[in-house]
Structure 1
Amino acid sequence: MAGAPVGVGIIGAGNISDQYLTNLTKFPDVRVLAIGDLLEDRAREQAAKYGVPTAGGVDAVLGNPDIEIVVNLTIPAVHVEVSESIIAAGKHVWSEKPIGVDRESSLGLLEKADAAGLRVGVAPDTVLGPGIQTAKRAISRGDIGRPLFAQTSFQWQGPEIFHPNPAFLYARGGGPLLDMGPYYVSALIHFFGPVAAVAALGLKGSETRRVQVGPQAGDEFPIEIPSTVSVLLQFEQGAQAQSLYSTDSPLFRHGVVEITGTEGTLVIPDPNTFGGDIRITRPLAEVVIPPAPVIQEIVEVPQEGVLVGRGLGLLDMARSIRADRPHVATGRFGYHVLDTLLSIEESVESRQFAQVTSTIDEIGSLTADFDPFAATL
């Protein structure tokens, strides 16, 4: 309805719903009208906590005629099933990552949405935060010359040091690649465009691990997936990237993303966050012969935009629906990220390069003056 906030519903009242509700209930351009969950009491608790007028089962969301977009916060294994029910109810979908767990059903969801004239948006929307969007504008301006390659790293000793039931994070469909990979791959695609091919190697640091905290501390569980994955990405436009995803590393190093061009290296914030420091290191101005110290020019890039958190992508989608323009974090983008991650898994198994068969058109951006707290509708 033009001239009014976009009605939003949420399916899934688990832990991550707090992160969405904290922001969505503060954005003037959207209004959260209902929360639904299989555990209806949990939905009612969240509704009371955030002042949402209606709560109950899934039908409390799907049956509400004033809701235009539904946020799918269910577990990945049922993302497609729940998103299809949202489309069938005549509503747009914003889905937590990933869009699905396999190519066929995920593509089927997009086809059903297209046939119904409805939109699909897919997390992570960290790539829409001021950190990555500012860095993207710097690259587009030519601040580092022609982009050549990237290096990223996510490494630590694993979630069992804090999680009381970590086994599912080492089961099929989990692991550092599928859990954290969407943040890094999404960021790289924003910078370099679609991925053409991948190569990867994987290993297990051990065949079993032990729970370290909580009532199950000391219990062993099996490792079903590679706990370390080394990845090479080839992008359609010619750039390359090298990435490490590991839960076998005593060294704690998250959020390493370095984009190197012909005129500098751009260091950006952790892609699992919405903002942070951005800087460019320039080439040496003169020859340095060891043991003389290497001193390079470092340029700080001011971060542009309002720093918020999850819900930013849904807000862009809501405003785009009203303006009849494309939103940025589209279902097609989310599918290409999934296709890339599945291709990496296949390369690990085959020990050969794997082609990424999907592609995407030009990827949109948010403007520097995008203000989540402005009433624009």
Structure 2
Amino acid sequence: MTEQSTPEQPWPVRVISQKINAWIGRLGWVWVDGQVAQLSRRPGSSTVFLTLRDPSADLSLTVTASRDVLDAGAPQLTEGARIVVHAKPEWFAQRGTLSLRADEIRQVGLGELLARLEQLKKLLQAEGLFDPRRKRKLPFLPNRIGLITARASAAERDVLTNTRRRWPSVDFKVVPVTVQGPTAVPSIIGALQLLDADESVDVIIMARGGGSVEDLLPFSDEALCRAVFACRTPVISAIGHEPDTPLVDWVADVRASTPTDAAKRVVPDLADEIRLIGQARGRLERAVRNRVEREQQRLDSIRSRPSLAKPYQMVEQRLTEVTALRDRAGRSLGNRLHRAENDLHHTLARLRALSPAATLARGYAIVQRADGHVVRAAAEVGAGDALRVRLAEGELAATVNGPKKGKA
């Protein structure tokens, strides 16, 4: 047989099976952790058959062990229990099947389960899956609510009844799942992904009634916690009762203590909202009424002012004032003109009194030589000189005959 297969020299199926058997044989003895999905004790047979399932994946293996091995390690073993087996993988070449042959079986106790959960909790917390800053707020009134719970369970009844009691028109999309046992985790993850992909679902509720720590183990599974963390839709965890706190409670956006509490958190109370709306309307009406009353009082105050109540009164008052000012201005101008006229008359009288014409009017005359020089002394003219004699009215021409003897 060639080392490599070719189209011309392919390996038969038996060769493939033999090689798989050789590869698996090199694996040796290993410790395997899983959940018992099925336990078969055949009467009269010394061999016990178990189906060991991975709680986080849809994968199972058949485990064979002697009855003595089972009774020594887990005499009270039941389906759904968590066990650790020391086994050697075996490949049955003729049937082409893989199984585990166990020589030791240990049932995982409650203390060890809690220790594992605490270790997983620290791991998820360190990765930021519990960070409050990444948690999303629930919508005030979701358009549609996705519900993941057991079919016809008390948790389903509590959520639906209490939610519709608070808001009768609420719409639900219920996806029934297995909430306990080896198939619970894949079933819940599938429902979660289905609802998260639905654009009409605004919030998802995972609900389950109370139970023991072992019963609630699927809701502390790492795969489920990571699936909840990856959801884009807000998730409410309503698992068990108040003391129950599976790990999915820490990852979910909102943790409800009970399914009934989830109903109270997901929708508002219609009666409370109607009451709050009534109170808001009352406050709004009072505010509007008070505002209208204040504005009415302000308008009444403005309207009662004289400028609006008696608009002509202001015009009449201003008319009286303008008339008085006009009369005062007329009197003042008249007085000024009268005083100016008197001053002018006085000035004119003084001017006339000082004027040479007034002197001439009293009988005096002004004698001027031909050159216009005013004669003030007789010596300034000689006989025969022509003189001009200016009177108050008119002028005379004269000729000097000679000087007059004696004093003037």
TM-score, L = length of structure 2: 0.22
1 or 2 for the larger relative contact order (CA 8 Å, sep ≥6)? 1
TM-score, L = length of structure 1: 0.24
Q: Look at both structures and tell me which one has the larger radius of gyration over its CA atoms.
A: 2
